Amino acid sequence: GNQKATHSENSQGKKSQHAEEAIFYMNCRAAYLTVFKSSLENIKSKEQLTLVLQQAGRNPSQKTINKYWTSQTTSLNFDDFCAILKKEKPATKNELLEAFGKIDTDKAGYILHDELCKILTTRGDKMTWEEVTSITNQADFNCSGKLDYNKFCELYLTTSEQCCKAARDRLETDPRLRQQHFGNQTENSSEGISLPVPKPSPRVSRNTDHKLPKADSRTPSRPSSAQSSKASTSTTVTVGASSSRSTKLIVDAATMKEWQHAQCRGCFYLEEDGEIISHKYRLHLAQRSAVCVTIRPCSIPQAQRKSCHWLSVDTALFILKENETQENLQLVSFTELQNKEMFGWRGELGAGVYWLLPFTTGCRLRKVKTQISGEAQLVWRDEDGELALTKEFRAALLEIFETLDLDGNGLLSLEEYNFFELRTSGEKCDQEAWAVCKENFEMKKNELTRQGFLDLNLMEANDRDGDPWDLWVTLLSLGYNKTLEMTEACPFVIDISAERCKPRIKAISLEAGGSQLSRAVCSSVLSKGEAKVLDGSENIFIYTYRSGSRITSVIENKSENKVIIHVNNEQSKNCMNNRGLTVFAVEVAPKSMMVSQHVMALNEQEEWIYNCVHSLV
């Protein structure tokens, strides 16, 4: 009886979850089709992305838009849009009131128009005076020169819901749009990214007209359990305890003693929505040379006395050759050999410019819900009433300094400091502002010292009269939790040795991997992995590749129609994947491919078994 009751409860829970998925998917369609004629049309600009998100009841900031539309983005498809909506939740009334409450320190329920104008025109996504005035002049919440922000929040949420409802009503009443509701078109999307021709598999004949969706990892944007499986294939890989820690990466110090070397640091940062961003690099070789490239998590001297969570994070580096345009990068190789926490590649590279794209699967660098009691103190007042940094906060700032010091010279150049500014505030420090820093904080050779960096943060605390709010914004954006542990970032170091010339490496940007990295990951799996045809379907292929301590699977859809693939890992043992789900579904567009999942051992000291069934729904 108890088993039946439990089974019934589980069934009801699954039905409820599937109903929620269906409603979510309908709302996504409704918003998308308010802006576009078909869900097969792509978003082709930041303005279109902003508009379609607003139709879905979101109010994205410029920082949010830039997160999803990077310098390498050319378009986003409907599935990308669904994935964004899952990450960007609509603001609640409590969240809005809390934000206004930080300005209304007296808790009066009102904010003076002049104070509001000053904030909205100088911080964040800066508005014009005219835009702010159009808000404050609204009679509904204009109370004699003061904004009744409680009424404003109510109007904001009501307007947002009306916008979503209008989109849903249009979807329900338009027969043409209703036909598109479950994506049953057979026409092909003209958008996508052509993949470089991979090495042919000896087991499978290949076409080369592939296109790649912009995101290589996302949860399903439509219900996955409504239909039964038509075709499936199973893959099993057994890995012995600790055997994944070494794959013959031998760095011969004696041989390379006469080689020329270069080193550069960087960092992976975990975004609020779970996306991972990192530094990207440009490598220049003056002439053809034998090269050795390695990447590993970076041990920070200041952090030796406490747990360094990031040292167990997997890292990799993809090497792409720059041709005539940055958009036309071709995968050369990647760091597939492993020695403990270090991944590397040895080979020969011709003269020219290469892009180095760092990568981590997200299996170990991920959002973890932990109960944290209390909050570390950041500042205190001495006997004279002067503010000072606590010992713990100073230690965290010195860790941050080491992470920012990309060239490892003990100083922060303007370029290095600007990565800090972009990460924490979204803005850059120009030469004029840097000159002001030079007048107020310790510098050497026009670069900021450790003491100067500490004093700069102390000044910020003084500007807020000891209020740590802005300091916590900085710390959280750099991967620290409330106990000052770096749990959502992974510093790394790249080492390059070349036999015939001096390698020159420079950090170019700090952003998500984007389509170039997605394409590189898929290409690496296609060229090195084992291919299996999905039983019962001649146009769906599953590629599985083990590289050191990780296993990656890629789904290729050669058919003219998009397909939904159900992925089941229930028979795997001692495994974790980047999605955090044992069972899930993904949609693969026509003539395209995407990463199904990345899998690693939960405990490397024990044997782990990867057993995955991919089924066509």
Establish whether domains 93-174 and 371-487 are of one fold.
yes
pLDDT confidence of residue 294: 95
Q: Residue 598: pLDDT band by 50, 70, 90 thresholds?
A: very high
> Is pLDDT larger for residue 220 or for residue 576?
576
Q: The tokens of 227 are what?
A: 């239909």
Domain map (residue ranges) of the chain: 5-87, 93-174, 232-245+516-616, 371-487
**CA–CA distance from 120 to each of 123, 311, 443 (Å)?**
6, 41, 33
pLDDT in tens, 53-110: 988 888 888 889 999 998 888 889 888 898 899 888 888 888 888 888 888 878 888 8
Per cent of the chain over pLDDT 90 is 44
Percent of the chain with pLDDT over 70: 82
On whether the CB atoms of residues 360 and 316 are closer than 8 A, the answer is yes
- Would you call 208 exposed, middle or buried from its count of C-beta atoms within 10 A (0-12, 13-18, 19+)? exposed
Stretch 183-192: mean pLDDT, rounded?
29
Task: Please report the sign of the dihedral spanned by the C-alpha atoms of residue 53, residue 54, residue 56, residue 60.
Answer: positive
pLDDT value for 356: 96
Domain 93-174, CATH homologous superfamily name and number: EF-hand (1.10.238.10)
CATH code of domain 232-245+516-616: 2.60.40.1180
Picking from 112-126, 515-529, 555-569, which range would have the lowest pLDDT averaged per residue?
112-126
Q: What is the pLDDT of residues 132-157, one digit of tens each?
A: 777 777 655 566 778 888 888 888 88
Cα separation, 181 vs 30, in Å, equals: 9
Q: Under a CB-based contact definition with an 8 Å cutoff, are residues 535 and 232 in contact?
A: yes
pTM, rounded to two decimals: 0.66
Domain 371-487, what architecture?
A: Orthogonal Bundle (1.10)
Res. 304 pLDDT band, cuts 50 70 90: low
More confident: 222 or 139 = 139
Residue 165's pLDDT is: 80
User: Does domain 5-87 match CATH 1.10.260?
Assistant: no
Cβ 88 vs Cβ 65: under 8 Å: no
The type of residue at 608 is W
Q: How far is CA 572 from CA 235, 310, 607, in A?
A: 10, 25, 11
* Phi, psi of 21, rounded to the nearest 5 degrees: -60, -40
- CA dist 282 and 505 (Å) reads 6
